[in-house]
Chain A
Amino acid sequence: MSTLNPILNAKNLSIFYGDNEAVKSISLPIYERKITAIIGPSGCGKSTFLRSLNRMNDFIDGVTHKGEILFNDENLYHDSVDPVEVRLRIGMVFQKANPFPKSIFRNVAWGPNINGFEGNSELRVENALKQAALWEEVADRLDDSALNLSGGQQQRLCIARALAMEPEVILMDEPCSALDPVSTARIEDLLFELKQKFTIVIVTHNMQQAARVSDYTAFMENGVLVEFGETDQVFTRPKESRTEEYVTGRFG
Chain B
Amino acid sequence: MSDSSTQGSERLNALLRKRQFRSRLFEWVCAGVTGLAVVILALLLQDVFVDGYRWVDAQFLNSFPSRFPEKAGIKSALVGTLWLVSFTALIAIPTGVLAAIYLEEYAPKNRLTHFIEINIANLAGVPSIVFGILGLAIFVRFFGLGRSVIAGALTMSLLILPVIIIAAKEAIRSVPNSLRLAAFALGATRWQVIRAHVLPSALPGILTGIILALSRAIGETAPLIMIGALTFVAFLPESPMDEFTALPIQIFNWTARPQETFHELAAGGIIVLLTVLLLMNAIAVYIRYRGSKK
Contact = CB atoms under 8 A, between A and B. Distances in A.
B198 to A, nearest CB: 11
Contacts of B179: 98, 100-101
A92 B185 contact: yes
A154 to B, nearest CB: 11
Interface in B260-294: 294
A85 B183 contact: no
Contacts of A96: 178
Nearest to B193: A114
B182 to A, nearest CB: 4
Contacts of B192: 114
Interface in B105-123: 109
B130 to A, nearest CB: 36
A115 B184 contact: no
Given A96-B178, A100-B179, A114-B196, A87 B201 contact: no
B6 to A, nearest CB: 46
A162 B187 CA distance: 10
A101 B202 CA distance: 12
A89 B187 CA distance: 8
Nearest to A158: B182
Contacts of A111: 186-188
Contacts of A56: 181, 184-185
B181 A84 contact: no
Given A84-B187, A111-B187, A98 B181 contact: yes
Contacts of B188: 84, 111, 114
Interface residues of B, number: 19
A73 interface: no
Interface in B182-213: 182-189, 192, 196-197, 201
Contacts of A59: 180-181, 184
Given A114-B192, A114-B196, A94 B181 contact: yes
Contact-residue size bin, chain A (C-beta under 8 Å from the other chain): 20 to 34
A201 B176 CA distance: 25
Contacts of A101: 179, 201, 294
A87 B187 contact: yes
A110 interface: yes
Interface in A49-90: 54, 56, 59, 61, 84-85, 87-89
A92 B188 CA distance: 13
A22 B109 CA distance: 22
Given A94-B182, A96-B178, 11 more contacts: A59-B181, A85-B187, A87-B187, A91-B185, A94-B185, A98-B178, A99-B182, A100-B182, A110-B183, A110-B196, A162-B186
Interface of A: 54, 56, 59, 61, 84-85, 87-89, 91-92, 94, 96, 98-101, 110-111, 114-115, 158, 161-162, 165
Q: What are the 4 A-B residue pairs with the smallest beta carbon separation, nearest first?
A: A88-B187, A111-B186, A98-B178, A92-B185
